[in-house]
Amino acid sequence: MEQSIHVETGAQLLARLMKRPILHELEKVLFSEGPRPNEVIEVSGNLSSGKTLLVTQLIAKCLLPRRYKGIKLNGQEAGVVLVNTDHHFHIPTLVDLMACFIRNNNNVRKLGADIFDDKVIKSIIEESLRYLTIINCYESSQFLVGLQSLQGILSNDDKIAIVAIDSISSYYWQDRKHGECWSMDGYVKSCLKTMQKHTFGHKIILLYTRPSDVESERKEAVVRASLPNEEKVHYKIQLHKQHDVNKFSAVVESAIDKRNLSYIVSNNGIEWRTCYSKG
């Protein structure tokens, strides 16, 4: 049988051999069978629908330890790189969510506040935050440099499981003014392709946010491929806040199914409510 020759650099070999944390239980309501390495998650939504809050919540669950002194905390004990472009992300919100997740954990509640007092919770959070890397960008050129730096960051840290961008479309109008006349969808695809160019082979999950009020009417299918495909999205989570009413709904689409959810926004983050599947 004729076989082709596969050539890879030392860096590519190192990336391929690295073992990273698996996030099968990151958020069961959203990802019944994942997310898996090399998959792409898109979070979209209108104004004040909770896009950044959802990303912050996923980061919190990713950073927290799986166990503390033998007590299961249901964290993922994994690292995250956040490319921060919209600057809606706030560390105090992340810390508050992490504290809420610890206190509301059923295993922690059974033990009471004597063991998990404020001092212990603070210590757990401080240790977990060591696994968060934030790249702050304030213009398009910095965003590009930030994406280009991902390969080096990932090569030096095998704890990282997610690279998140909030938001991938922040510099759309800036880039459009000085470059091609992209559609918003075309611009997002271009940025996603750049992300994948610098992360491909590292077996991490890509997560990004974008607004839902600027997108094409043509909807591409969500895919579940055996190998990662450039510019393909494996999960689409569309959040929606009704105008002038404190009601929230979401559509979660994967290659397996399409589900409608309702949710509330509270001090505990986004809390999922009713759900039904469209198959």
Q: Looking at the domain assignment, is residue 219 inside a domain?
A: yes
The count of structural domains within the chain is: 1
**Across residues 211-231, what is the average pLDDT?**
55
pLDDT of residue 216: 53
Q: At a CB cut-off of 8 Å and minimum separation 6, what does 268 contact? A: 97, 100, 104
Exposure string over 205-227, b if 16+ CB within 10 A, otherwise e: bbbbbbbbeebeeeeeebeeeee
User: What SS3 class is residue 16?
Assistant: helix
- Out of 11-15, 38-42, 91-95, 174-178, give the one with best mean pLDDT: 91-95
Closest by CA position to 158, among listed 224, 78, 91: 78
Distances (CA, A) of 67 to 28, 76, 124, 247: 18, 9, 10, 35
Q: Domain range spanning residue 190?
A: 19-277
Percent of all residues in the chain with a pLDDT value above 70, rounded to a whole number: 83
Closest by CA position to 149, among listed 139, 135, 160, 162: 135
**Across residues 226-252, what is the average pLDDT?**
81
Residue 107 near residue 68 (C-beta atoms within 8 A): no
Strands 71-72, 79-84: pairing is unpaired
Which tops the pLDDT comparison, 186 or 8? 186
CATH number at residue 47: 3.40.50.300
Residue 80 near residue 131 (C-beta atoms within 8 A): yes
Secondary element (H or E) of residue 11: helix 10-17
Q: Looking at the domain assignment, is residue 4 inside a domain?
A: no
What's the token pair of residue 262? Answer: 């309702």
Percent of all residues in the chain with a pLDDT value above 90, rounded to a whole number: 49
* Residue 45 confidence (pLDDT) above 80: yes
Q: Looking at the domain assignment, is residue 119 inside a domain?
A: yes
**Number of alpha helices (DSSP H) and beta strands (DSSP E) in the chain:** 9, 11
Q: Looking at the domain assignment, is residue 2 inside a domain?
A: no
Q: Looking at the domain assignment, is residue 71 inside a domain?
A: yes
Q: Looking at the domain assignment, is residue 11 inside a domain?
A: no
pLDDT of residue 227: 46
Q: Looking at the domain assignment, is residue 79 inside a domain?
A: yes
> Mind listing the pLDDT tens digit for each residue in 131-169?
999 999 999 999 999 999 999 999 999 999 999 999 999
> Mind listing the pLDDT tens digit for each residue in 49-98?
999 999 999 999 999 999 888 888 989 999 999 999 999 999 999 999 99
Q: Looking at the domain assignment, is residue 195 inside a domain?
A: yes
> Mind listing the pLDDT tens digit for each residue in 174-200?
888 876 667 888 889 889 988 888 887
